[in-house]
Structure 1
Amino acid sequence: MTSARPEHGAGEEGSPWFRATNLPEREPEPEYPYWQSPAAPEVPYDETMALRTQEARRMVVTQATPAPGTEPAGAAPGSRSIPGSRSAAHDGSAPGSGPTPDDVSAPGPGSVSRAGAASDGPVRPTGGRAERRRAAAKGRGRRRAGKHAPGGAAAGSSAASVASAASTAPERPMTRVEARRAARARKDSVGVVASRVVGELFITFGVVMLLFVTYQLWWTNVRAGLEADKAKKGIEEAWAEGRKPGAFEPGQGFAIMYIPKLDVVVPIAEGIDKEKVLDRGMVGHYAEGALKTAMPSDKQGNFSVAGHRNTHGEPFRYINRLVPGDPIVVETQDAYYTYEMHSILPQTPPSNISVIQPVPQGSGFSKPGRYITLTTCTPEFTSTYRMIVWGKMVEERPRSKGKPDALVG
């Protein structure tokens, strides 16, 4: 026969299987009247208690406030007990020593609890840990805001709020005198205005010069090339129609010059007028007054022409590169006239017209013949002097026989 074994921990002292003879006897728990709760032990002071606010503090008021001047049994003088504490048991006070006060307030003079009693001792914190932390943080913020307020209360505005209000406050309107002074200070001085004007003038002048250089070095060549091509085409059309004018008008084209070494093909017009001939990209024939020279078809003479070295088509820019024996071909309506370069005069004054005489001086020719003279300005981009190139005719070939070898090769 087996008996039911009691559950573990239940009735251990009277259990037949567990009989402990050395266990200390339990102290009888004191019984308290229903109106009295054991006093709470002394709680050390915590700075967060002083920062607790009425909103975060849990006040449990379940008992009546004792009569003025009476102290609960077992409590320290000037201290307040908390309902539900066990201070009576620890202090040795006997049960029935009287009701304990149920109002609790935070320490500090002038502070009042929810029940309306002033606090004069430390208070045991109530609620959970998170609630106590929130109450402490909120109390610190209010203490900083009202640090300088009378009685420690938060009154007025802090320095940050004052600065913010000052920054957002509307500015005071200036007086008439202040407005005039500010306007006078904003005006530029005479020196600043003058320097700006001078700077703008220099900038304008620089832009104008840049445009002028672009026009001279680029646009004049483009325009002269177009006009020269147009004149060459007109000459070829007139030859195709068989027109033979008795005399050429100034500016009228009548021949075409080829310099194979320089890859030059340029029309030749009557006269050396700058606007009508030279600036239009053509080569001009000396044919007026004391400067009149022979035509290629003449049996004797010096066929002399002029052309630009820079800008306006610049047909004679590189004639200084010619060497003796280089061919120079002149095509007319009836024939091809081939010349060979003979000599060059690098520099001579513009007034020296002896270079275009029938027997030019300084050319090395000593007797009359059929010569050609090319004249242009030098140095480049100036018209201070003239450069002269001479040549001698070596072949006259009718156009009906085709181009000469100098153009075919």
Structure 2
Amino acid sequence: MRTSPGQRTPLGRRVPLGRRVPVVGHGTRRRSARRRRVLWTGAELLVTAGVLVLLLVVHQLWWTNREAKAGAERGVQALERQWGSGAVDGRPGAAGEGGPGADSAAGDPSVADGDGDGGDAGVDGRGGSSAGSGGGGGVPRSSQAYAVLRIPRLGLRVPVAEGTSKQKVLNKGYAGHYSGSQQPGQQGNFAVAGHRNTHGEPFRYLNRLGKGDRVEVETRDATYTYLVDKVLPQTSPRDSGVIGPVPRSLTKPGVGYGVPGRYLTLTTCTPEYTSRYRLIVWGVLVAARARG
């Protein structure tokens, strides 16, 4: 309905000549109200989604770290108490079984004489065969914490558990031993994975390690000291050669080792907050000291 010039509007006003006054009907008002409700509802949903995403980020970046770091520290303390009491898996006196591994690498030329130059922190594939823990104390059970990894330069000490399961090992803030690789101090390659971000992120600053940095692995029998020798800043998650008995990259020829020795391999994701590539740190065994 439109009012013609010269007519009076419903409010009694006269419409000037040459001008039409549109009259808004009830249908138009209802459509406008519906649009406002839709826009308001959409805005509320976006705000709610944003809050949920923020809470998820806080949970992943703060809460999981807090819980996993605390759990990992408790794990280290539990191992130290267990070793101090001479009990392993509740069996008194088991700490004396097997000895510390008499084939100490100190002075072994194969340790130092290389040929120059593993959706998670792991590297696909397995290298070698597991042959007992720490020089001969029986094979650890899957997900069992049985050693402590210390990196003085990073102020790091975390339990090492058997296997690289996300839920049972890595997400607890532990370092995970590749089940197919050798145990600490043995001939071959002791290969370990750890998260770089979230869930305790024990390997967050692994990229800061350089040649000569010390890495210690303590078991119930002995403490094994490795020195960092080489760093591979980036390789494929499928580069299984880096955790082989003689670690050597399969995707970057010439990077790694060519002769047997007693090696340590640390693997984690790179770049940070992604799992696209793997960062590899290699070390060689230089000393083994029996627990007093």
Q: With structure 2 as the length reference, what TM-score do the two structures score? A: 0.70
2:77 to 208, 229, 233: 233
Question: 2:36 maps to what in 1?
Answer: 192
Which residue type is aligned with residue 257 of structure 2?
F
Greater Rg over alpha carbons, structure: 1
Amino acid at match of 2:233: P
User: 230-239 vs 350-359, which deviates more?
Assistant: 230-239
1:187: Cα distance to partner? 8.9
Please say if 1:271 is aligned against 2:163.
yes
- 1:274 partner amino acid: K
Q: Does 1:313 align with 2:205?
A: no
Which residue of the other structure, out of 145, 152, 166, is the alignment partner of 1:253? 145
Q: Where does residue 296 of structure 1 map in the other structure?
A: 184
**Which one of 256, 277, 280 corresponds to residue 385 of structure 1?**
277
Indicate if the aligned counterparts of 2:185 and 2:262 stay in contact, CA closer than 8 A.
no
Length, aligned pairs only: 215
Kindly report which structure 2 residues correspond to 1:296-375, keeping only aligned pairs within 5 A, or say none: 296-298=184-186, 300-362=187-249, 363-375=255-267
The 5 Å alignment of 1:62-81 reads none
DSSP 3-state at the match of 2:192? strand
Residue deviations 1:237-261 (CA, integer Å, cap 9, x gap): 2212322473311111100011000
- Contact 2:75/2:159, CA 8 A, preserved across alignment: yes
Contact 2:161 2:169 in 1 (8 A): yes
Does the CA-based 8 Å contact 2:221-2:291 persist in structure 1?
yes
Q: What are the superposed Cα offsets for residues 7-30 of structure 1, whole Å, 9 maximum, x if unpaired?
A: xxxxxxxxxxxxxxxxxxxxxxxx
Per-residue deviation, 1:185: 5.5
After superposition, the C-alpha distances for 1:353-400 in whole angstroms (9 at most, x for unaligned) are 110001111453221000000000111011111111100011111121
Question: 1-side partners of 2:139 and 2:288: how far apart?
Answer: 22
More strand by share: 2
Quote the RMSD (CA, aligned, Å). Answer: 1.9
For 1:358 and 1:239, how far apart are their aligned partners in 2? 29
Structure 2: segments with no counterpart, 5+ residues: 1-24, 89-93, 95-136, 250-254
Which residue of 2 is the match for residue 204 of structure 1? 48
Q: Residue 269 of structure 2 aligns to a residue in which SS?
A: strand
Give distance in 2, aligned partners of 1:358 and 1:275: 27
> What's the offset of the Cα at 1:235?
1.3
By how many angstroms is 1:189 displaced? 1.8
- Match of 1:275, SS state, is coil
Structure with greater contact order relative to length (CA < 8 Å, sep ≥ 6): 2
Deviation at 1:334, TM superposition (A): 1.2
C-alpha distance in 2 between matches for 1:386 and 1:346: 8
Q: 1:285 aligns with which of 177, 180, 197?
A: 177
Alpha-carbon distance in 2 for matches of 1:366, 1:214? 45
Give 1:88's aligned residue. Answer: none
